[in-house]
Amino acid sequence: MASCFHGYRGFCTALVLVSVLYYVSILYWSHASVPSYFRGTRLESGIGMGSNHPIDLLTFPLAWNHLSFPSNPPQKLLKIALFVKKWPDGRQAGGLERHALTLHLALAKRGHELHVFTTSSSNFSFPKYPYENLRFHLSKPTGAGYLDQALVWEQFVAQNSTHNPFDVVHTESVSLRHTRSKNVPNLAVSWHGIAYESIHSDIIQELLRAPNETQTNQLTERGAKVVEEIKFFQKYAHHVATSDHVGDILKRIYMIPENRVHVILNGVDEDVFKPDNEKGQNFRLNLGIPGSKSLIIGMAGRLVKDKGHPLMFEALKQIFAENSTFKETVAVLVAGDGPWGARYKELGPNLFVLGPLQTGQLARFYNAIDIFINPTLRAQGLDHTLLEAVLSGKPLMATKLASITGSVITGTEYGYTFSPTVDSLKKGLYEVWKDGRGVLEKKGKVVRERGMKLFTATKMATAYERLFLCISNGEKNHDYCKY
Ligand SMILES: *[C@@H]1O[C@H](CO)[C@@H](O)[C@H](O)[C@H]1NC(C)=O
Ligand SMILES: *[C@@H]1O[C@H](CO)[C@@H](O)[C@H](O)[C@H]1NC(C)=O
Ligand SMILES: *[C@@H]1O[C@H](CO)[C@@H](O)[C@H](O)[C@H]1NC(C)=O
Ligand SMILES: *[C@@H]1O[C@H](CO)[C@@H](O)[C@H](O)[C@H]1NC(C)=O
């Protein structure tokens, strides 16, 4: 496909081909492998054929993000309990916490009554939000930093015993343990990394291990962890997979019945992450990036080993040494915190190591780059930085992990993928460089168009809202389970 991208006409032909293939495959698939009621649904991918048979959402096999939900809040507002180990502490937040924040602020904004059961932290002053319907119930974490289950359950029961019990309970991963969740039918758990997908990370780490580094037991222990998870995952009523790949694992390997597994891909704030050329240019100017740089590469996130930074460091080092033109024309912006920030500086003035950025600055950062690269080795959940770059209209380059290739970089029109080896990464970098800014800009437009359908915070929040309405306590809610 890459050879089709020489010049604009070739690009268009490729696009048409891709859409036709997609259309044909969906048509074939919908006739061949799913019940007839599914034909002609109002999928946003544009296969509308006007069938009146509603979809049963609970068994809908694709990501709910492909559907469109009303932008107005529903008539029935929900009382929602959220269990989350830690509420995000600004820019330090990991994926699970950011998911909790983005989703539940959006739900509070839509008028739902949110009760967040989370740990208090002595390190930062707890943030204040302008929503009266968003309430926090803090408790001291256990020694290991988890939610004290007895304590939060007591808080929960007190809130649930009022005249107004909870309609639905949501837990981010195992924040609420299976010992408490097992008898709660109106509960959904969101997974941000399960043991089976981590096996891929273990394999990669073992392959990348230097001969003088000691072998860890992770790879051998992971199989037992999977079996353990398969047993206790059954004790959560409903499961939300944050990538298509995990949806498949939960149904196939973890053997959870299909009507209890729902795929809702992560979303990020579309009002924050959006294209803004001028802001991007100013960002470059402020950094003093010379105009001679024809390719600006961006990376963001924790700058640690398991995010693939040793690999990226080595690939850049080798390319800089073997090709002076590449070195002269490329600038690399690195946002984030971690030991590899200092190492990158050793590569010379092409590397702009920016440290951790606040959200507004991060949005400008994405606008300043031509391509976003995420060399992560962690096959867990769905990385938020990729989605932020997508909504900013930037093409992507990332490791061939199933969550990424299955949900985000699903074709060459959205970017580039590589195997986690220095050689494969170098090959990818050269390819991006040869394609150049023009091709990348075109890919960026296609990327954003798809991203605005699938990866906005609004899409994520309305999909969860619909799921919560569907599984909430009450008799007439099965209407919400139809689409
Ligand atoms: C609080 O800060 C200390 C030291 O800086 C750190 O070790 C600890 O992990 C922090 N705790 C939280 C909950 O962030
Ligand atoms: C919450 O209260 C309702 C109403 O009393 C009850 O039916 C439900 O079982 C309670 N939920 C839990 C998890 O205790
Ligand atoms: C392994 O060897 C490399 C290079 O020979 C060295 O830089 C590194 O520090 C060594 N690591 C350990 C854990 O000994
Ligand atoms: C760098 O790579 C490009 C593309 O492969 C090649 O045309 C060029 O000659 C190389 N330059 C150097 C200095 O090796």
Contacts of residue 255, Cβ cutoff 8 Å, sequence gap at least 6:
230
Pairing of strands 168-172, 79-83: parallel
Q: Which residue minimizes the CA distance to atom 2 of ligand 3?
A: 212
**Number of the ligand closest to the Cα of 330:** 4
> What are the backbone angles phi and psi of residue 431, rounded to the nearest 5°?
-65, -45
- The binding-site residues of ligand 2, defined as CB within 6 angstroms of any ligand atom, are 160, 165, 184
3-state secondary structure of 58: helix
> What's residue 1's pLDDT?
36
- For the segment 96-150, what is each residue's pLDDT rounded down to a tens digit? 888 888 999 999 999 999 999 999 876 667 788 999 999 999 999 999 989 999 9
Task: Please tell me the distance from the alpha carbon of residue 254 to that of residue 233, in angstroms, as a whole number.
Answer: 8
Q: Which residue minimizes the CA distance to atom 10 of ligand 2?
A: 160
Helix orientation angle between 384-391 and 422-454, rounded to the nearest 10 degrees: 60
Q: Which residue minimizes the CA distance to atom 7 of ligand 1?
A: 123
By the 8 A CB rule, do 415 and 444 touch?
Answer: no
CATH of domain 277-454: 3.40.50.2000
- For the segment 442-455, what is each residue's pLDDT rounded down to a tens digit? 999 999 999 999 99
> What's residue 200's pLDDT?
96
> Ligand 3 test: best mutation among 208, 212, 213, 305, most atoms within 8 Å of CB?
212
Residue 84, Cβ neighbours under 10 Å: how many?
24
The 8 Å CB, 24+ separation contacts for 303-306 are: 303/334, 303/336, 303/337, 303/338, 303/339, 303/340, 303/341, 303/344, 304/338, 304/339, 304/340, 305/340, 305/377, 306/201, 306/205, 306/376, 306/377, 306/378
CATH of domain 79-267+457-481: 3.40.50.2000
Task: Please tell me the distance from the alpha carbon of residue 55 to that of residue 62, in angstroms, as a whole number.
Answer: 12
- Whether the CB of 123 sits within 6 Å of ligand 1: yes
The 8 Å CB, 24+ separation contacts for 35-41 are: 41/67, 41/483
Give the neighbor-by-neighbor strand order of the sheet with 168-172. Answer: 134-139, 113-119, 79-83, 168-172, 187-191, 238-241, 261-263
Q: Same fold for the domain at 79-267+457-481 and the one at 277-454?
A: yes
Q: Which residues pair with 136 in a beta bridge?
A: 116
> What are the backbone angles phi and psi of residue 50, rounded to the nearest 5°?
75, 30
> What's residue 216's pLDDT?
85
Q: Which atom of ligand 2 is nearest to the CA of 169?
A: 13
Q: Which atom of ligand 2 is nearest to the CA of 157?
A: 14
- Whether the CB of 211 sits within 6 Å of ligand 3: no
Task: Please tell me the distance from the alpha carbon of residue 220 to that of residue 5, in angstroms, as a whole number.
Answer: 44
> Ligand 2 test: best mutation among 160, 178, 187, most atoms within 8 Å of CB?
160
Q: Give the residue from 241, 197, 190, 239 showing the smallest Cα distance to 85.
A: 190
Q: Which atom of ligand 1 is nearest to the CA of 92?
A: 14
Q: Which residues pair with 56 in a beta bridge?
A: 482
Indicate the domain borders of the chain. 2-59, 79-267+457-481, 277-454
Q: Give the residue from 373, 422, 404, 390 showing the smallest Cα distance to 197.
A: 404
| Mean per-residue pLDDT pooled into runs of 10, the chain (483 residues) | 41 46 46 37 45 87 96 93 88 77 94 95 77 94 94 97 95 96 96 96 94 89 97 98 98 98 96 97 96 96 95 98 97 96 96 94 97 96 95 98 97 98 98 98 98 97 97 77 93
> What's residue 122's pLDDT?
66
